[in-house]
Amino acid sequence: MDISKIRGDFMIYVTDDEESIRDILKEALTTAGYQVETYPTADEGLARVKDSPPHLVLSDIRMPGMTGIQFLGKVKELSSDIEFIIMTSHANLETAVEGMKLGAFDYIYKPFESLTSVVTTCDRAIERVYMKLENEQLLEELASKNQLLATVNQRIAQENKEIQLVNGLMQKLAQTVDPDGVLQTLLGALSGLISEKPVLFFKYLPAYNSLAVSLSSKIPIDGIKTVGITLEKYEMKEIPNLLMEPEKIVQLKELMSEVFKATEFYVIPFVHSNQPIGLIVCFEAVTNENLRRLIHSFLQITNVSFENAILATKIREMAIKDPLTGLYNRRYFNEKLEDEMNRSRRTRYPLSLIYLDIDHFKKYNDTNGHPMGDVIIKSVAQILQKTSRKTDIVARLGGEEFAILCPHTPGVGAAVKAEKVRLTVENTKFPNGEKQPMGKVSISLGVSEFPTMVGDAESLIRAADDALYKVKQGGRNRVCLGEPPTDFKPEFIPQSVPVGPGQKRGSGTGGSAA
């Protein structure tokens, strides 16, 4: 995201006993757009933090009176949401690392290599603050939507004739956590209102300028997934208004008659964020006003649940995804690792793990700066996604470290995949890659397998990490398939999984495998 556009919304406090340092940082950060206040001692800075908490604190690690580490601890006691960046000399690196363990976001060296790098480091810290604030806002919106849902429910429940139907729909929607599931629940409820007759959802596909059946009730969806109509005769700007008046869509009437033999039906637009996203078609002409009112009440309730499902999906994505790359994060990876180990035991198919990191990444970061380093990390992440199956679990474990969990895959198959990934990265032209120690951006990979190599999740990780270490010791930019410990006995013999032509279990992956 582009932090430069919103820097003015964030406050940074700078504490340093050198006036020149305070003045330099204030000028650089203010010029960048931030609000900045400076203080010569940690005590004064802490007093100001208590009075008016900032979003970020920059503090020298060596301060008279209260030390920078003590200052960090007291700030974190006041609020864990305040980010903290330590300024240190090379001689104080160990103390800086201690600060990172206590919750500091990062550290920067004095004298500064460049003020641009200082601003960039602050940008990354503020980006984290922004993501936390955005998450809180999503949670508030979710709570607000839930409150609205409760209000709607209370109003509808006043109609005694309808209370049982409304509560039934509410209970089903409460058990549904994804948007499509919400719509499917609505279709089933509407079918119940019209004597169990079919109900369809035609999704609007802007990229294809068409409507296509995506969900159905009382008609098997597999047989009608290709059913739809084109809207090419209409201009794109006309279509939203057209979908709000679906009775004007002649092609829909023709399709219902020719494909479904339905001459009477009732069409309702489904709206999200003030835009129609599709049409609900009931296979009955609904003329009774009370029934129409009930149907539209169902739509109103469902629309709130639909928005809640979208918000909940966003929150779930934020909880399990790495914000920089969009890959799964370490926490989700650890959860899935245990799940896949148990599944492997049930199915008797092998499970493999690929551990990898970017060679000499710190050198690249130091030479080109963190923004360019982020570009490399995102580019490698995209390669991992493109070269992986849908069943693979691709995660960023932190920094430049990644993992790929490969279900239903023997170690040799995972090593072949790892070599493919390695070659793809090696053959990709990255910005300033030629300045790297190896003349290019490259990766090193270690591979392990359950059950023939290890017996539990922790050992699977350790074996892959050990194989990766061997690659690092042997010169990097290679793949290493691990080996089982001496006298290791697998808990079961896995079922055979086909591998590439000419490959045998235990064989290498060509000249690049260690």
pLDDT tens digits, residue range 327-348?
999 999 999 999 999 999 999 9
CATH number of 3-129: 3.40.50.2300
Average pLDDT over residues 130-158: 80
Each residue of 415-467: pLDDT tens digit? 999 999 999 999 999 999 999 999 999 999 999 999 999 999 999 999 999 99
Question: Is it the case that residue 514 has pLDDT exceeding 50?
Answer: no
Beta-sheet strands, E only, within 40-174: 56-60, 83-88, 106-109
The H or E element containing residue 368 is helix 361-368
- What number of other Cβ atoms are within 10 A of residue 480's Cβ? 28
Q: Does the reported pTM lie above 0.85?
A: no
Each residue of 97-124: pLDDT tens digit? 788 888 888 888 888 888 999 999 999 9
Average pLDDT over residues 377-395: 95
- What number of other Cβ atoms are within 10 A of residue 217's Cβ? 22
Question: Is it the case that residue 504 has pLDDT exceeding 50?
Answer: no
Q: At what angle do helices 370-386 and 411-426 cross, to 10 degrees?
A: 130
The region of weakest confidence among 134-148, 170-184, 438-452 is 134-148
Question: Is it the case that residue 507 has pLDDT exceeding 50?
Answer: no
Question: Is it the case that residue 46 has pLDDT exceeding 70?
Answer: yes
Each residue of 229-252: pLDDT tens digit? 999 888 888 999 999 999 999 999
Question: Is it the case that residue 483 has pLDDT exceeding 80?
Answer: yes
Pairing of strands 35-39, 11-15: parallel
User: What are the φ and ψ backbone dihedral angles of 62, each rounded to 5 degrees?
Assistant: -105, 105
Average pLDDT over residues 256-263: 92
d(C-alpha 172, C-alpha 162), whole Å: 16
Which pLDDT score is estimated for 366? 93
Each residue of 80-95: pLDDT tens digit? 889 999 888 765 677 7
Each residue of 178-214: pLDDT tens digit? 899 999 999 999 999 999 999 999 999 998 899 999 9
Tokens, residue 457: 């999740």
Report the SS3 class of residue 357: strand
**Domain extents for the chain?**
3-129, 159-317, 330-481
The region of weakest confidence among 94-98, 105-109, 130-134, 215-219 is 94-98
Output DSSP code: residue 494. Answer: P
Kindly write down the DSSP assignment for every residue of 403-464, as one continuous string: EEEEET--HHHHHHHHHHHHHHHHTS--TTGGGSTTSS--EEEEEEEETTT-SSHHHHHHHH
Question: Is it the case that residue 28 has pLDDT exceeding 90?
Answer: yes
Average pLDDT over the chain, rounded to an integer: 89
Report the SS3 class of residue 299: helix
Which pLDDT score is estimated for 156? 62
Domain at 330-481: CATH architecture? 2-Layer Sandwich (3.30)
Average pLDDT over residues 299-322: 88
Which pLDDT score is estimated for 503? 44
Question: Is it the case that residue 502 has pLDDT exceeding 60?
Answer: no
Could you say which of 3.40.190.10, 3.30.70.980, 3.30.450.40, 3.50.50.60 is the CATH number of the domain covering 159-317? 3.30.450.40
Pairing of strands 11-15, 56-60: parallel
User: What is the residue whose two structure tokens read 């956590």?
Assistant: 177
CA 141 to centroid of chain Cα atoms:
19
Tokens, residue 116: 């641009």
